Structure 1
Amino acid sequence: MSDNAVYENPLISRYASREMAQLWSSEYRSQLWRRLWIILAECEQELGLPISDAQIAQLKKFEKQVDLEAVQAYERRLRHDVMAHVHAYGDQCPDAKGIIHWGATSCYVTDNGDLVLIRQGLEMVQRRLASVILKMSEFALKYRDLPCLAFTHLQPAQPTTVGKRACLWMYDLVLDLQEVEHRLSSLLARSAKGTTGTQASFLQLFEGDHEKVRKLEAMIATKLDFPSSYAVTGQTYPRKVDAQVMDALSGVAQSIHKIATDLRILSSRKEVEEPFEKDQIGSSAMAYKRNPMRSERMCSLARFVMSLQSSAAQTAAVQWMERTLDDSANRRLVIPQAFLAIDACLVLMENVATGMVVYEKQVAKYLAEELPFMATEAIMMAAVAEGADRQEVHELIRQHSVAAGLEVKQEGKPNNLLDRLKAESLFDKVDIDQLVDPVAFVGRAPQQVDEFLSNIVGPIREKFGDQAGMSVEVNV
């Protein structure tokens, strides 16, 4: 049967980066397990167990040479994935076969391995988030003072600037970055805890020497580059940790979905567009279409990640007593795919942030259509300052606003409110054109952009710098 005759995961074949896909590969995970067995043997030898240098050397020789076909053959017979790996490794290392996995339970490799993979996955997400923020900051700076129509309730509201809106997008991502960093700093090793977390097997190995068991646990955590290990566990590390990691990834997905949705709305208004390539086709039937494909894909993938959040929460909730195995198949699906999908979202988001196009005249047109209504309070205050009766002015503006609004909505005519007011003698002393300068209505938006880029984005740029440059080609 050819590869094309069976289902392929589109996260691998279409969306995620090669880097993230390789992290969750069977080959990398298998090599990681072997590294864990080597670490266990080294620590046990150092603490006095009869393990020779030659045995450890043999383990190291075949650390990267995993015969996955041999593993699969063993698993078909043994129905146990970890023991299949132990036997396959032992076949390659006959002198060390007897000390592989000595004193350990399966979760020694599966859980410690997963914690290393989660850490590396979060580090990739961290760098991609930083990269997106830094790329988007360039866009925000460029359009820091370009007035545009703002929306509340998806209805026209007081103006803002294009750059300020981008800062709203970035700040959500900054908060996500802080949460990812918190999760990274909180990760610990499971280390050597034994079958139900009591370390009974290791206590037996060291003939009742509690101090050596404690040292073994600490030494393994150090070799894995974790600050320490979880204080107590059952058979597994707390599945609460998975739920917390998924919360963080879901948070990134929520932010990306919001940004991409905004871009889709702006694209429909022809104000801002994502990159559109020279030969890109928007529709098989409507040749003129410029669909926001990248933003739509981000929303689709982000929605998938958000849906996975509940699965990890439910898994944590049903870990009866010291552990149930109904976590296994679920985690094999949920954790890697959440990382792969969020990676794909961030790759797309960086691509879009780098190439967003702003149609300034279209932005100005939409703002000009609504600005007369927004300027009426300033016009009223100016007229009163010149001696007009406030209530009389208010009523006159109200009447003309209603009439102008009806013409716009019912007859499709341009907004003529300003011309109507200019024709009224009450406003003869008021410079209406000056009062409707869009720049006068954006408040401190440009200064807020400057301050945000300096105070919030600046430290991110300083921390990540060149590390954040992880641009990869957007897949099909």
Structure 2
Amino acid sequence: MTNTAGQARTAPSGAPIPLRFTDYRVPDPGIRSLFDLEARWESWLQVEAALARAQAKLGILPAEAAEAITAKSTLAALDIPAIHRGIAATSHPLMALITELSQTTGEEHGGWVHWGATTQNITQTGDLLQIKKAHLILLDQLEKTLAAAAHLARRGASAVMAGRTHSQQAVPITFGFKVAVWIDELLRHHERLRQLESRMFNAMAGGAVGSFASLGNDGPEVQQLLAQDLGLGSMRIPSRGIADQFAEYVAVLALLAATGGRIAGEIYTLMRPEIGEVREASPQGTVGSSTMPHKQNPQLSQDCTTISAQIRSLLPQAMEAMLHDQEVNGANTAMMDDALSRAIILSGDLLARLTLILTGLEIDENRMRTNLEITHGLVSSEAVMLSLGHAIGRQHAHDVVYDSAQEAIRTHRQFGEVLGANPTVSAHLTQLEIEGLLDPLNHVGLCQDIALEAAVRADSIGMLIH
């Protein structure tokens, strides 16, 4: 990690992001550095160079000028302190960079720098180059999360536990089935991220308002050539006020964050000592409390809960940022830049933690079985009802089993004992049959098959991509 204790990291907007103490044991995804100011400047310079090359191909400017501009379009060739001073003097995000590039390119060719472009053409397209890099990291992270989930689904495929609805025991499931549900959601988020690529990663070079007024009939082809050079698509209408694609990206990350928060929340609950069915792996020496030496807290799950909420809170901001008035409003652009960059950085932090949690999660099958026995057989009431229903009808069977369940709860007796004493039940089911129906192992349906099938689907994503 590059951070040191007590420091704060900086988001693209300049607002501090507090250091999480767990950062020291969580791998850095490598996304945050993509949004450092100088990293963004490098991408903006790439766009300036690609713009010059595209215009040279069409004869708008001399080929020698494009070569000269390209040769100097790197921070290594520029005076960085001069750029900072220029920003302070001009109060403009790009003008100082353009000026320094022009001067460094030289008098003969420097006048062609930034020809026919406006600031947002360069900054938005350049930032998309950084976001595309981050996007590939996020996809790779998500595939690693899915791989960890696949392994966990296989490990827990036959681990019988209580399924819970409304926080109450419902019917038996396997832990692998629970993980399969997580996998199913994560796979759809992966699909969404791939589907939006064609809408998201497009160069913009339409000039001041997107009408190609500065380049005329050559404008669309300049934009197309620039886009091809940079490995991007080309905006059909390069309006600076179009932002739905960015809001969509934040929305998909918010969906992913909701699933991540849900997974973390379930693990957090299942780690409670009163339940104790799973446990986050904790490195040797991890301390849960400065005053309670026994504590082992679900630190990474708590992180995920926090980060998930932070990402989801950015979606209203992204929606608001779409509401440009007229052809563009810089306030809305800045609002979207902030929401988008933060959502991407935080998503990397979330996935890094999810992968760690799922990879090292400890499953306690004995505790799962113990918790199933808490209800003295009630968790399998549906199995009894359905079996009895073949003889007396489902609704009548429901009433009979319901009455027996309430008596068992009221008298603190074993459910099987109460059922056996019910003349309607005993007329159709032997005590041995009742005991078989009340065995949770006999009422998990297709949980194991579902878990194993989901694991195969999760593994296939990585194989398809790589």
Q: How far apart are 1:458 and its partner, in Å?
A: 4.3
SS at match of 1:201: coil
Task: Give structure 1 stretches of 5+ with no counterpart.
Answer: 204-209, 409-414, 466-476
SS at match of 2:295: coil
The change in CA–CA distance for 1:226 and 1:371 in structure 2 (over 3 A counts) is farther
The change in CA–CA distance for 1:265 and 1:7 in structure 2 (over 3 A counts) is closer
Q: How far apart are 1:342 and its partner, in Å?
A: 0.8
* 2:298 match: 292
* 1:468 match: none
* 1:462 match: 463
The change in CA–CA distance for 1:391 and 1:323 in structure 2 (over 3 A counts) is closer
CA contact (8 A) 1:119 1:187 kept: no
CA contact (8 A) 1:12 1:21 kept: no
* 2:405 match: 401
* 1:146 match: 159
Cα offsets for 1:57-78 (capped at 9, x unmatched): 4642451415432211001111
Letter in 1 for 2:136: E
The change in CA–CA distance for 1:30 and 1:404 in structure 2 (over 3 A counts) is same
Q: How far apart are 1:103 and its partner, in Å?
A: 1.5
Q: How far apart are 1:277 and its partner, in Å?
A: 1.9
Q: CA separation in 2, counterparts of 1:310 and 1:391?
A: 47
Matched, 1:37 2:48: yes
Cα offsets for 1:9-41 (capped at 9, x unmatched): 465854582510121111211111111111111
Q: CA separation in 2, counterparts of 1:394 and 1:117?
A: 60
TM-score by length of 2: 0.87
Q: How far apart are 1:245 and its partner, in Å?
A: 0.8
The change in CA–CA distance for 1:126 and 1:4 in structure 2 (over 3 A counts) is closer
* 2:85 match: 73
SS at match of 1:326: helix
Letter in 2 for 1:115: L
Q: CA separation in 1, counterparts of 2:401 and 2:259?
A: 41
1:189 alignment partner, one of 199, 202, 209: 202
SS at match of 2:163: strand
* 2:307 match: 301
SS at match of 1:375: helix
CA contact (8 A) 1:145 1:161 kept: yes
Matched, 1:370 2:382: no
The change in CA–CA distance for 1:151 and 1:217 in structure 2 (over 3 A counts) is same
Matched, 1:86 2:98: yes
Q: CA separation in 2, counterparts of 1:35 and 1:391?
A: 71
Q: How far apart are 1:423 and its partner, in Å?
A: 6.5
CA contact (8 A) 1:136 1:170 kept: yes
* 1:214 match: 220
Q: How far apart are 1:381 and its partner, in Å?
A: 6.8
Farther off after superposition, 5-14 or 20-29 = 5-14
* 2:13 match: none
Matched, 1:257 2:257: no
Matched, 1:114 2:127: yes
Cα offsets for 1:231-263 (capped at 9, x unmatched): 1133x1611111111111111111101111111
SS at match of 2:203: coil
CA contact (8 A) 1:62 1:92 kept: no
Q: CA separation in 1, counterparts of 2:196 and 2:394?
A: 58
2:250 alignment partner, one of 240, 246, 251: 246
Q: CA separation in 1, counterparts of 2:140 and 2:394?
A: 57
Q: CA separation in 2, counterparts of 1:48 and 1:444?
A: 67
Farther off after superposition, 6-15 or 25-34 = 6-15
The change in CA–CA distance for 1:22 and 1:5 in structure 2 (over 3 A counts) is closer
Cα offsets for 1:339-378 (capped at 9, x unmatched): 1111000000000110000111110011122361133454
1:160 alignment partner, one of 165, 169, 173: 173
Farther off after superposition, 10-19 or 22-31 = 10-19
Aligned-pair identity (%): 21
Q: CA separation in 2, counterparts of 1:191 and 1:104?
A: 9
Q: CA separation in 2, counterparts of 1:373 and 1:24?
A: 55
Farther off after superposition, 69-78 or 363-372 = 363-372
Q: What RMSD over aligned residues (CA atoms) do the two structures have, in Å? A: 2.9
Letter in 2 for 1:444: L
* 1:434 match: 436
TM-score by length of 1: 0.85
Q: How far apart are 1:301 and its partner, in Å?
A: 0.7
CA contact (8 A) 1:194 1:201 kept: yes
Q: CA separation in 1, counterparts of 2:384 and 2:337?
A: 64
Farther off after superposition, 56-65 or 99-108 = 56-65
Matched, 1:25 2:36: yes
